[in-house]
């Protein structure tokens, strides 16, 4: 699936119909097609999908669904549920805040072969002991916030402008930019954007 050329098709799974409706609207507004929607996903979707977007609900409890060939983006309420999702094979975990832009960016990163972990979960998951199954696929993931900063870098915005767009300080924006440079093994912002475009993280 080339996220740069096509609208990604996802199966949306979650226990609450109102929450699913909100997620559907958020995803659709950011050019993600919701091709299937259900409370549980016990079998493979009856339509082709590129990924599963799974809402764990406010209290969790259900195991993440698995579909061969379709990576899972889990929307969870806390770090423990993020840990469960990753251990079960999820390629991305985000807070279940319904942010369509962050979900779309995470889906693009997952399609490029990266693991996406939302910022509130990073510290706790990085501290996981080496023998924990969460770390089996650990490859220096980009956070959802870093993906947002990366998109704005591609638009040529300065640290100050990025900060204004995301309601963070220029210092924090600079920190995110430097982290992105390190993760993409780039020396300059331009090189980072080019590398990101080549891996499918950005559409230029």
pLDDT the model gives residue 164: 94
pLDDT, the chain, mean: 79
Q: Point out the least confidently predicted range of 8-22, 97-111, 123-137, 153-167.
A: 123-137
Find the helix packing angle between 100-111 and 144-154, rounded to 10°: 90
Contact 110, 71 (CB under 8 A): yes
Tokens of 76: 């969870």
Regarding predicted confidence, which is higher, 30 or 202? 30
> What CA–CA distance (Å, rounded) separates 112 from 71?
11
Residue 159, pLDDT above cutoff 70: yes
Q: Which CATH class is domain 144-199?
A: mainly alpha
Query: What are the distances in angstroms from CA 47 to CA 20, 43, 51, 54, 90?
Result: 18, 11, 12, 16, 20
Q: Where are the domains of the chain?
A: 9-137, 144-199
Which one-letter DSSP state was computed for residue 185? T
Q: Which of 7-11, 29-33, 139-143, 190-194 has the least mean pLDDT?
A: 139-143
The encoded tokens of residue 191 equal 């090189």
Q: CATH top-level class for 9-137?
A: alpha beta
> What's 129-150 look like in SS3?
CCCCHHHHHCCCCECHHHHHHH
pLDDT bucket at 125, cuts 50 / 70 / 90: low
- pLDDT (0 to 100) of residue 3: 46
Q: What is the pLDDT of residue 136?
A: 37
Percent of the chain with pLDDT over 70: 77
188-200 residue pLDDT tens: 887 787 777 666 6
pTM value > 0.75: no
Q: Give the per-residue pLDDT at 41.
A: 67
pLDDT confidence of 20, banded at 50, 70, 90? very high
Q: Are 61 and 40 in contact (CB under 8 A)?
A: no
């Amino acid at each position: 699936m080339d996220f740069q050329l096509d609208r990604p098709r996802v199966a949306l799974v979650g226990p609450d119909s109102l929450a699913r409706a909100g997620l559907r609207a958020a995803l659709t507004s950011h050019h993600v097609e919701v091709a299937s929607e259900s409370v549980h996903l016990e079998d493979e979707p009856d339509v082709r999908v590129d990924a599963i977007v799974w809402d764990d609900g406010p209290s969790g409890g259900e195991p993440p669904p698995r579909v061969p060939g379709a990576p899972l983006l889990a929307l969870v309420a806390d770090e423990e549920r993020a840990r469960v999702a990753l251990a079960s094979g999820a390629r991305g975990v985000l807070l279940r805040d319904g942010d369509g832009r962050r979900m779309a960016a995470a889906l693009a990163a997952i399609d490029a072969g990266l693991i996406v972990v939302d910022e509130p979960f990073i510290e706790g998951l990085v501290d996981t002991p080496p023998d924990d199954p969460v770390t089996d696929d650990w490859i220096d993931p980009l956070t959802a916030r870093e993906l947002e900063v990366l998109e704005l870098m591609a638009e040529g915005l300065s640290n100050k402008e990025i900060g204004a767009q995301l309601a963070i300080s220029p210092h924090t924006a600079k920190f995110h930019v430097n982290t992105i440079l390190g993760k993409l093994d780039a020396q300059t912002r331009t090189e980072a954007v080019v590398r990101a475009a080549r891996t499918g993280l950005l559409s230029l």
